């Protein structure tokens, strides 16, 4: 028993020194993820015009899941459970977004989706975290901004409501992912998520996929980009980033999403925001920064925050001992709520 524990401790220490990751690196990753991710809004909007949302998700995630399939060799029940939950949440987010983009413009959808920056701390309140009065002010400013943006095109439409739901679901996803990445290898966690979404997407599209093959072929370059870069790579990179960056910090850096989305929608689709849209967008950006202005990491000095866990590469009988080693070696972040 003692020998086994020493071996497992040594493995964890080795992994710790060879897979170091700092908060700064995590934040840089989030910027890259955000830049890539928001190129998908105009691409998805353009592709959905010819491909059904169900078919797009099934094909997009089907391609992405193949890349990480080898990582399914070493999984345990806890990893499977967390991966299933994350996959279900992410599928709900993607499916809702894909349907919403059939009725609203890409830049408007991106701004509404950015409300997760407000929703993450609000959901944190339900988990017992202290919520500052400034956060309530930020929420009011954000919803005012969304209202101003909506008036630009008249009353709220179903796409707006769907994107509100997407923002809520994705906020839950961020909080769950922050917890899950502390305990599981990022590649295995990503593999399970992608396969869950692939299977749900296949069930959703059903026989309809056969009739979509020609349209899929015509949009293949965009779908390959969505699958390999914006889905497989981004899902994995986000799992890595949230080892050292909290859900709150992730939401803060996602304030860049509407900025990138507006730029890419203008460059690729020729979409423009009117004066009320610009004012509303400014309100939303101010609210997102305001809500996160007091959130900071007391250990954010560039030091190592977390490392890749090794539980998945050991046998089930060793899990209890490895969990002990993780609790000893893994530094824990503290946040000012």
Where in the chain are the domains?
A: 2-329
**Residue-wise pLDDT tens digits, 240-278:** 988 888 787 777 677 667 666 666 667 776 777 677 767
pTM (whole model) above 0.85: no
Asked if 143 and 95 count as a contact pair (C-beta separation under 8 A), the reply is: no
**Looking at 29-38, 80-89, 195-204, which range is the least confident one?**
29-38
Rounded distance between C-alpha atoms, residue 235 and residue 182, angstroms: 16
Query: Taking a C-beta distance cutoff of 8 angstroms, is the pair 65, 191 a contact?
Result: yes
Higher pLDDT, 148 or 163: 163
- Give the residue among 7, 75, 33, 8 at the shortest CA–CA distance from 233: 33
Give the other-Cβ count within 10 Å of 256's Cβ: 19
pLDDT digits (tens, 9 = 90+) for 75-97: 899 999 999 999 999 999 989 98
């Amino acid at each position: 028993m003692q020998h086994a524990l020493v071996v497992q401790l040594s493995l964890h220490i080795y992994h710790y020194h060879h897979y170091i990751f700092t908060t700064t690196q995590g934040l840089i990753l989030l910027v890259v993820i955000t830049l890539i991710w928001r190129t998908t809004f105009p691409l998805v909007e353009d592709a959905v015009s010819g491909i059904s949302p169900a078919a797009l998700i099934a094909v997009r995630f089907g391609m992405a899941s193949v890349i990480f399939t080898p990582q399914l060799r070493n999984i345990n029940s806890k990893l499977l459970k967390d991966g299933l939950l994350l996959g279900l949440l992410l599928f709900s987010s993607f499916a809702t977004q894909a349907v919403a983009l059939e009725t609203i413009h890409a830049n408007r959808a991106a701004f509404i989706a950015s409300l997760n920056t407000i929703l993450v701390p609000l959901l944190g309140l339900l988990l017992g975290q202290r919520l500052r009065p400034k956060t309530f002010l930020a929420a009011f400013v954000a919803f005012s901004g969304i209202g101003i943006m909506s008036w630009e095109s008249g009353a709220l439409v179903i796409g707006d409501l769907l994107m509100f739901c997407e923002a809520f679901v994705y906020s839950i996803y961020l909080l769950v992912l922050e917890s899950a990445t502390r305990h599981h290898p990022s590649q295995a966690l990503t593999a399970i998520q992608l396969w869950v979404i692939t299977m749900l997407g296949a069930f959703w599209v059903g026989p309809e996929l056969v009739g979509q093959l020609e349209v899929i072929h015509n949009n293949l370059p965009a779908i390959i980009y969505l699958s390999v870069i914006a889905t497989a790579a981004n899902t994995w990179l986000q799992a890595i980033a949230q080892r050292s960056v909290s859900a709150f910090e992730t939401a803060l850096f996602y304030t860049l999403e509407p900025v990138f989305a507006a730029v890419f929608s203008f460059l690729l689709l020729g979409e423009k925001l009117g004066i009320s849209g610009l004012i509303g967008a400014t309100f939303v950006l101010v609210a997102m920064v305001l809500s996160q202005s007091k959130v900071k990491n007391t250990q954010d000095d560039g030091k190592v925050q977390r490392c890749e866990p090794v539980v998945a590469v050991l046998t089930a009988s060793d899990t209890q001992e490895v969990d002990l080693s993780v609790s000893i070696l893994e530094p824990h972040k503290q946040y000012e709520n």
